Amino acid sequence: MENNTPVQKKRVLSMIQPTGVFTLGNYLGALKNFVALQEDYDCVYALADLHAITVRQDPAAFRKNTLSAYAMMLALGIDPEKSVFFIQSHVSAHAQLAWVLNCYTQFGELSRMTQFKDKSAKHADNINAGLFTYPCLMAADILLYNADYVPIGADQKQHLELARDIADRFNGIYSPTFTVPEGLIPKTGARIMSLQDPTKKMSKSDENTASFITMLDTPNEIMKKFKRAVTDSEACVRYGEGKAGINNLMGIYSCITGKTYEEIEKEFEGRGYGDFKTAVGEVVVNELAPIQARYNELMKDKAYLEKCYTEAAPRAEAIARRTLSKVMRKVGYLPLGR
């Protein structure tokens, strides 16, 4: 007798801050993989706008950037039918659980977070309490949805470890409540570096705009930035030590074309860096063209965007509330009689 019960997919949770236009680094390092994960996992995605205010935001620009980021995620291929894709501030359970988890997290644990040290140095005029405690909000984000996996890069391992420690601690004090999440290292994806200083990660906060490609750069801007990309004096397209600039360009080319480094080396054997930079620029332009076209369509249809995020909020809320209710009961809060 056949068992027709559908197999329960494992749940993946990932969130990204909506502060400005996403870069090619965001896309190849994470966002492209978000789309692929939808086929094999039960995906919960969100724009982490609560996290964004640890750095002071201009309200009008913040609203605009959030809508733009939502449209870009849909343009990339996030399917609101397949995935729950919501805006974090629309689900109040995140802030509520974050407060509870603050009380189950040690001061010493938070003070060891390297991102707090980095951001404090960068924003010395605004070292606020939110900057210190936001790993608790990040833990709440993950644990509310009983995520089995969280896609992570090297810079997020520490935060995931803290979320796991908090979950274990809470489960140990009370009883199993939270799923203890595991990191999911993307099969595809790369750590994309600055085009002007390939020892640093590509970042939209870089003062030198030639160092990063945004998802909305024009073909002309993209080609110009790649032609100016820092390389080395060897003039040989090969992956190796002391060739950070070329390694980075090869990583970008490999991510988009699917070619191995060995295949890329063969393709450009005997050809100079000028040819290679042009080829990298062209594949990036071709990759981004349909995404940009879809994004522009979506930005003209504000009603559709509003419909998507308005319908997503109660779907996310329903999952989050179930977890939060368990937590509130176990901690000992008096339930609201209804």
Catalytic residue numbers read 119, 201, 204
Question: 93 and 317 in contact (C-beta within 8 Å)?
Answer: yes
Q: What are the structure tokens assigned to 114, written together?
A: 């390297």
**What does the DSSP assignment read for 139-155?**
HHHHHHTT-SEEE--GG
For 62, phi then psi, to 5°, come to -60, -45
**What does DSSP say about strands 182-184 and 42-47: parallel, antiparallel, or unpaired?**
unpaired
Residue 3 identity: N
Looking from the CA of 50 toward its CB, the CA atoms found within 13 Å total 23
The span from the CA of 297 to the CA of 330, in Å, is: 47
Question: 92 and 49 in contact (C-beta within 8 Å)?
Answer: no
Question: What separation, in Å, do the N-terminal and C-terminal C-alpha atoms of the chain show?
Answer: 45
Burial of 204 (0-12, 13-18, 19+ CB in 10 A): middle
Q: What is the CA radius of gyration of the chain?
A: 22
Q: What are the structure tokens assigned to 315, written together?
A: 């779907």
User: Residues for the chain: how many in total?
Assistant: 338
Mapped onto helix, strand or coil, the DSSP state of residue 267 is helix
The 42-47 sheet, strands edge to edge: 84-87, 42-47, 11-16, 149-151, 182-184
Question: 263 and 254 in contact (C-beta within 8 Å)?
Answer: no
Which residue carries 């100016």 as its tokens? 228
For 324, phi then psi, to 5°, come to -60, -40
